[in-house]
Amino acid sequence: MAVSSGEGKTAGQEDPVRRESARQRAGEQGLLFDEQPATLPGDIGYRGPTACAAAGITYRQLDYWARTGLVEPTIRAAQGSGSQRLYSFRDILVLKVVKRLLDTGVSLQQIRTAVQHLRDRGVGDLSRITLMSDGVSVYECTSPDEVIDLLQGGQGVFGIALGRVWREVEGSLAELPGERAAVEDNVPADHPADELAQRRRARRLG
């Protein structure tokens, strides 16, 4: 199933006792994230080992996910022998979310759908999303009420507040090396400026 909105997924919302219990559980699990994370520079890239350390995954996982198109580096892809992938902050955030979904038993098909859904979101929107899952479907919640509705109805077995994951990744990357992407790193292969970028690289190598 595709990632669904959490709104309107439950019945029995008129029960104040169950609703308060669901609210408490959401609070205990850290799913009601209200703080707005800081916006990080979009031109800072992180190499594979750094991305792995911040996301809590192995390099083998990182490489496999990149080769299968699950999570690809958006700043610079590997291009031939010796080239280094560069991952953005957003990429690493998604990597960490994928790892958590896998750890909780969500199917790879569901994870691919969720990742595609997150790709379509703006960076600012990501910090306000909580992903909930019952182990079969993944639901997107964009408000505390939607999180509570799912918990109250028993559909949300676990949740991931992306704002909280954002803070965790931000804290990890503060102690890890990053590098500013060169202009040509973001130039598509068929871009008119690509020839100029190749000349610059040739001058540096020569």
C-alpha span between 38 and 148 (Å, rounded): 26
C-alpha span between 3 and 111 (Å, rounded): 9
Does residue 125 belong to any structural domain of this protein?
A: yes
C-alpha span between 2 and 129 (Å, rounded): 16
Does residue 99 belong to any structural domain of this protein?
A: yes
What confidence category does residue 149 fall into, taking pLDDT thresholds of 50, 70 and 90? confident
User: Residue 104: which CATH number?
Assistant: 1.10.1660.10
Does residue 19 belong to any structural domain of this protein?
A: no
Does residue 102 belong to any structural domain of this protein?
A: yes
Position 125: which residue type? D
**Of 177 and 198, which is predicted with more confidence?**
177
How many domains is the chain partitioned into structurally? 1
Q: Find the Cα–Cα–Cα–Cα dihedral 53, 137, 161, 25, rounded to 10°.
A: -120
C-alpha span between 135 and 133 (Å, rounded): 5
Please report the beta strands in the chain, taking only residues with DSSP state E, as ranges in sequence order: 4-5, 44-45, 130-133, 138-141, 158-161, 179-180
Give the best-scoring range by mean pLDDT among 26-35, 153-162, 170-179: 170-179
pTM for the full model? 0.72
The torsion angles phi and psi of 140, rounded to 5 degrees, stand at -100, 125
* pLDDT on residue 24: 72
Does residue 167 belong to any structural domain of this protein?
A: yes
Does residue 51 belong to any structural domain of this protein?
A: yes
Does residue 11 belong to any structural domain of this protein?
A: no
- Does residue 184 have a pLDDT over 60? no
Give tens-digit pLDDT for 76-132: 887 665 568 899 999 999 999 999 999 888 888 889 988 988 888 766 678 788 888
User: Which candidate, 123, 133, 128, places its Cα nearest to that of 98?
Assistant: 133
Q: Are strands 179-180 and 44-45 parallel, antiparallel or unpaired?
A: antiparallel
- How many residues make up the chain in this entry? 206
DSSP designation for 184: G
- Domain extent, residue 73, equals 42-181
SS3 (DSSP) at 108: helix
C-alpha span between 78 and 85 (Å, rounded): 5
Does residue 161 belong to any structural domain of this protein?
A: yes
